[in-house]
Structure formats: C-alpha cells, structure tokens
Copies of this chain bind each other. A is one copy, B any other.
C-alpha cells in the first residue's frame, strides 16, 4: 500500500513527464519511489554548492533555482536557470566529480533526491533512459556554447534585451504581465555578466525608452519587437 502510494506519486510527477525519467517503466518508477527522499528548500538556500560531492540526482518538483559560480572577483556568475520538471546534478554524478556550480533556490522549492547507484543502474539497463540523459546533457552543452558566444560578442545592452526575452519565454509572466521569475538586480547582472549598476542603468534606459516598465521589483516587457531587434 505504501509502495503503491509512492509509485503513484512518481508516476504523476512533473519530472517524470519532462525529464529523461520519462523512459522509465512502472517497475523502475517503483524502485525510485522506494529509494528517493524529498526535501523542501527555501528561497535563497542552496540545494548543493560548488565543490560538494553530490551522490545522486535531484528532481525539481516545484520552484526555480540558479546554477552559478563564484568568480575570483567575488561576483556570482549565473550559468543556467533550472525549473520544475528538470534534473539537477547529472553532470557531476556522471563525471564522478564534485559539483562545479552551486544550485541556489530562487523561490521555495520541492526536490526529490535519487541516489547515484539507482540512476547508474538505469543507465546500464535502459537504453532509452541513457539516450535521453545524453540528449539532455548535449542540449546543455549547446546552450552553454551559445551563451558563451553571446557573452563574448554582444554588448551588455544586447545581452540584457536577450535575457529579458529569455526569462519571459522560459518562465512566463504573471497575470499583470510582469516576468514571473523574481531576480534581484544583482542576479540579473550575474546572468548577463556585468556590474549591478550597469544592469540597473540599462534597465532605467529601457524603461525611459518604453521598452519595459518597472514597478518596484516587477519588470514588464512592453515592446517585444524592439527588444528583439536590440537582442539581434
């Protein structure tokens, strides 16, 4: 009865729908349900940090987190954002290395932890699963390469426009039209790779030009066409 309960939970889980785990059959899901542990993470808290040994994979059931790295000058570069339905920690598990990036909650989160042994077992016995995992990581690699080229070749203004569009496209907007994802100015600066003040200044410029609207912490994209033109 307890097993059925857990199994049903994993079966209906958003992570199962969206991630590599969709290749798992009922038996395999049952095994996960039996070994997984759930955790709640509060906004601002880490799931794991750079250098931690992560002996498994985290499934994001709800919430959003940032994957970032502290650089020598003390600034936090956000490499990637992760939302519900995705897995976390796959790379360091496969490479058998400590985490290269910190994962910190941007809102309250629910995550499930699946131990490494379980995942590696599926990797060996379920080709569709390993192929899915592989494709996910390849997708990450492409995204990161493109991000690298963008940071390297675009101006801060272009990157800000690009990032605002990215945030709306990937995390949606609230009923009032503002970006759903809540980033501080410092975090937004960390995403585009610039100083906080430069980021704030450009947001003000965009605001004055009517491209966006700022009300408190909320950002509303007003002129997508022009933003897209700036972003290239």
Using CB atoms and an 8 Å cutoff, list the residues of chain A in contact with chain B.
Answer: 69, 71-73, 75, 77, 79, 91, 94-97, 100-101, 123-124, 127, 130-131, 133-135, 137-142, 144-154, 193, 232
Copies of this chain, tallied across the complex? 2
Contact of A100 among B91, B94, B145, B152 (CB under 8 A): B145
Q: Is the CB of A148 within 8 A of B72?
A: no
Chain B residue contacts of A193, Cβ below 8 A: 151-153
Q: Is the CB of B94 within 8 A of A134?
A: yes
25 pairs, CB–CB < 8 Å, chain A vs chain B: A71-B149, A75-B153, A77-B149, A79-B148, A79-B149, A91-B138, A94-B131, A94-B138, A95-B139, A95-B142, A100-B145, A101-B145, A123-B130, A130-B130, A130-B134, A133-B134, A134-B134, A137-B137, A141-B141, A141-B144, A144-B145, A148-B148, A151-B151, A151-B152, A153-B193
A100-B142 CB under 8 A given contacts A124-B127, A149-B71:
yes
A153-B72 CB under 8 A given contacts A133-B134, A145-B100:
yes
Q: Is the CB of A131 within 8 A of B135?
A: no
In whole Å, how far is A23's beta carbon from the nearest beta carbon of chain B? Answer: 13
Q: Is the CB of B135 within 8 A of A77?
A: no
Chain B residue contacts of A77, Cβ below 8 A: 148-149, 152-153
Q: Is the CB of A131 within 8 A of B141?
A: no
In whole Å, how far is A103's beta carbon from the nearest beta carbon of chain B? Answer: 13
